[in-house]
């Protein structure tokens, strides 16, 4: 060919660059898996089929980064490729991408050798650069550098050969115009651009729920560059945060005010200051506890008007039969995962992803599972969704004391084994009826130990099937009560209606077999579409224990009060535990104490009469205004800010304040 078209050559070089980067990531992952296969004694020998599946899904994980890098090179090529200097710059950038990808990928393998984990911000609090880029290379340095250099030479050589072939076929003519070439080669342009954009943006969250990999093999799937970017983001989030982000007081001043201490001490121990003791007069043994977190369950489902539809008729019947339901119960975080983190950890929301920093806060004294392990319960975590739905959720759960965790793969397998009626799963995970059946089936098959079970339902999505008779009932009701449609669409109301029946059957089945069980039902955060003062912040909290007759201490609380409430009912008398919350129920009668009627939520506080968001007081439950309500509301809000600041201190520095 006489004339070489720079535009076409640029496109083909983008393809060669993308394939080379793919090759780099493929080789790194192959080496990582082989290293684990040979040297990691936690797993048995990896079969060939598992290698194939890991490498295939790994390529899907890599697509995002490959697509972004290729898209950048393509856009730069439009401006730089026509000049000799521009082509040199592009080639240098391509070389740097290869070298950096190899260095970061090999660093992650050596990092795994040191820490038995991939890049993780909580493994290095002070010097991220040293921990990632130097420390992994210190042992066997010569061999590691040799592997790095050989890898660079191989992949740079492959890319250079590809570029040379393209240059040979299309000798670059800097004067050929894009306007002339574009129509002729538009199919190639469209193909490359579409492929690159698809890679960059379409494959952001790859589901690997069918892989059923050992947790160590699961660590080989995320790309090293992706892991590094998340690590650095969390590192900045943690290390750039400070006590002053939450309150304008010193730690010692906050401690004195929050705990109402009168004297100055040289140091303070938050573990001792947060310590509480049960006052349990009952000898009834509770052997099985079920802490159920239901997605999309809102307090408005139980209110007059909405309850006519019977969305939560079964749970309402449970309350009528003696179950406790809090009047005002505040969310402690505004998203699903943040709420799970606060409920599991026992800390207030501090705006940092706790699950990504699990090793920094292992076995918190305030955590849900640790408090019940201390009483001899085995602790289980059940989530109807995929373990990858929230990054590092599984690691976080185990770091906070849970003995075992179960996800959609085990749930659907149980449903298939027992020949339950399909479908078993939808895009977000297993259907909730099979989630609770899985919990029940495990318990019924010779489960003798005391158990504490957290059950998190599968996230709601509109593509999941609802039984037709439920949907038909909701449709007919809304036709005669159109005002109800404002609370949620037909599919959501049908979903909640079905979940109510599923939960009721589960509670009935367990209670019949184990009358000494205890059930807690709540949700993650408020998603109500109506804006009454109460329902803006309220989530449901129901506690049902057939063998107990608990007495109410307060009907105002938040998620942080759930653990103290359960412990007050099931732990021996004078049992000590650590918590920011306080019990709402007791087995022992106590006189009314107004100071117990308070709740600290997510940037909002409440008592039995009002809710305060830091700016406005809104009266609820026919509460009457009093003279000093503004001072009381400000004081409660100050305590909330102090609790968040102290939660950050525990997360970052531990329990000692000096």
19: its two tokens: 């394939």
The predicted structure's pLDDT at residue 54:
76
Cβ contact 576:277 at 8 Å: yes
The predicted structure's pLDDT at residue 562:
97
Burial of 587 (0-12, 13-18, 19+ CB in 10 A): buried
The predicted structure's pLDDT at residue 175:
43
β-pairing, 551-552 vs 585-586, is: antiparallel
The predicted structure's pLDDT at residue 189:
57
Distance (Å) of CA 382 to CA 81, 393, 432, 456: 55, 12, 11, 6
Closest CA to 396 of 338, 345, 472: 345
Q: Domain 274-625: which CATH class? A: alpha beta
Query: pLDDT under 50 in the chain at which residues?
Result: 1-4, 125, 172-183, 205, 207-210
Q: Which runs of consecutive H residues, i.e. helices, occur in 81-218?
A: 84-115, 128-133, 141-169, 178-184, 186-197, 215-218
Q: What is the rounded distance in angstroms from the CA atom of residue 629 to the CA atom of residue 127? A: 48
Domain spans in the chain, listed from the N-terminal domain onward: 4-237, 274-625
The predicted structure's pLDDT at residue 188:
57
Contacts of 445 (CB under 8 A, 6+ apart): none
**DSSP label at 200?**
I
Q: What is the rounded distance in angstroms from the CA atom of residue 73 to the CA atom of residue 157? A: 19
* DSSP letter string, 622-658: TPPP-TTHHHHHHHHHHHHHHHHHHHHHHHHH-SEE-
Handedness of CA 384, 388, 389, 393 (dihedral sign): positive
The predicted structure's pLDDT at residue 182:
45
Whole-model pTM: value is 0.82
């Amino acid at each position: 060919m006489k004339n070489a078209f720079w535009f076409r050559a640029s496109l083909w070089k983008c393809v060669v660059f993308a394939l080379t980067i793919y090759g780099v990531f493929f080789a790194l992952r192959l080496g990582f898996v082989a290293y684990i296969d040979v040297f990691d004694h936690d797993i048995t020998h990896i079969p060939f089929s598992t290698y194939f599946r890991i490498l295939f899904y790994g390529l899907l994980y890599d697509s995002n980064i490959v697509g972004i890098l290729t898209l950048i090179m393509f856009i730069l090529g439009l401006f730089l490729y026509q000049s000799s200097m521009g082509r040199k710059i592009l080639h240098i950038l391509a070389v740097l991408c290869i070298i950096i990808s190899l260095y970061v990928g090999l660093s992650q393998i050596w990092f795994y050798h040191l820490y038995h984990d991939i890049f993780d911000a909580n493994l290095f609090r002070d010097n991220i650069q040293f921990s990632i880029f130097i420390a992994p290379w210190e042992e066997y340095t010569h061999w590691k550098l040799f592997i790095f250099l050989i890898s660079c030479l191989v992949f740079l050589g492959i890319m250079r050969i590809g570029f040379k072939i393209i240059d040979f076929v299309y000798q670059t003519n800097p004067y050929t115009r894009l306007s002339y070439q574009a129509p002729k080669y538009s199919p190639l342009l469209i193909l490359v651009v579409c492929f690159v954009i698809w890679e960059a943006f379409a494959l952001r969250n790859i589901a690997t729920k069918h892989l059923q990999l050992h947790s160590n093999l699961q660590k080989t799937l995320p790309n090293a560059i992706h892991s590094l970017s998340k690590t650095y983001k969390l590192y900045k989030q943690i290390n750039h945060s400070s006590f002053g982000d939450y309150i304008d007081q010193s730690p010692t001043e906050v401690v004195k005010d929050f705990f109402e201490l009168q004297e100055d001490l040289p140091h303070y121990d938050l573990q001792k200051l947060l310590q509480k003791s049960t006052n349990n007069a009952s000898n009834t043994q509770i052997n099985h506890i079920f802490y159920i977190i239901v997605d999309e369950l809102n307090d408005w489902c139980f209110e007059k008007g909405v309850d006519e539809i019977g969305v939560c008729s079964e749970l309402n019947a449970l309350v009528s039969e003696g179950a406790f339901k809090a009047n005002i119960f505040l969310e402690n975080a505004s998203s699903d995962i943040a709420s799970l983190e606060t409920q599991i950890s026992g800390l207030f929301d501090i705006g940092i992803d706790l699950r990504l920093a699990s090793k920094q806060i292992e076995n918190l004294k305030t955590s849900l599972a640790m408090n019940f392990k201390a009483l001899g319960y085995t602790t289980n975590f059940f989530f109807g969704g995929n373990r990858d739905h929230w990054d590092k959720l599984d690691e976080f759960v185990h770091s906070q004391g849970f003995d075992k965790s179960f996800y959609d793969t085990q749930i659907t397998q149980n449903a298939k084994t027992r020949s339950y009626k399909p479908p078993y799963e939808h895009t977000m995970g297993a259907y909730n009826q099979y989630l609770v059946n899985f919990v029940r089936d495990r318990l019924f098959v010779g489960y003798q130990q005391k158990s504490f079970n957290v059950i998190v339902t599968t996230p709601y999505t509109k593509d999941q099937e609802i039984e037709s008779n439920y949907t038909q009932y909701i449709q007919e009701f809304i036709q005669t009560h159109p005002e109800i449609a404002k609370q949620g669409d037909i599919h959501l109301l049908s979903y909640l209606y079905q979940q109510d029946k599923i939960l009721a059957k589960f509670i009935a089945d367990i209670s019949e077999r184990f009358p000494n069980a205890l059930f807690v039902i709540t949700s993650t955060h408020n998603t109500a579409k109506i804006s009454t003062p109460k329902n803006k912040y309220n989530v449901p909290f129901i506690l049902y224990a057939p063998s107990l007759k608990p007495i109410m201490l307060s009907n105002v609380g938040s998620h942080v009060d759930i653990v103290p409430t359960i412990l007050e009912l099931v732990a021996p008398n004078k049992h000590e535990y650590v918590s920011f919350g306080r019990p709402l129920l007791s087995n022992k009668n106590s006189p009314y104490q107004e100071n117990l009627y308070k709740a600290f939520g997510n940037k909002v506080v409440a008592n039995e009469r009002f809710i305060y968001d830091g700016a406005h007081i809104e009266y609820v439950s026919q509460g009457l205004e009093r003279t000093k309500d503004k001072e009381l509301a400000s004081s409660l809000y100050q305590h909330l800010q102090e609790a968040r600041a102290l939660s950050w201190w525990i997360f970052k520095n531990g329990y000692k304040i000096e």
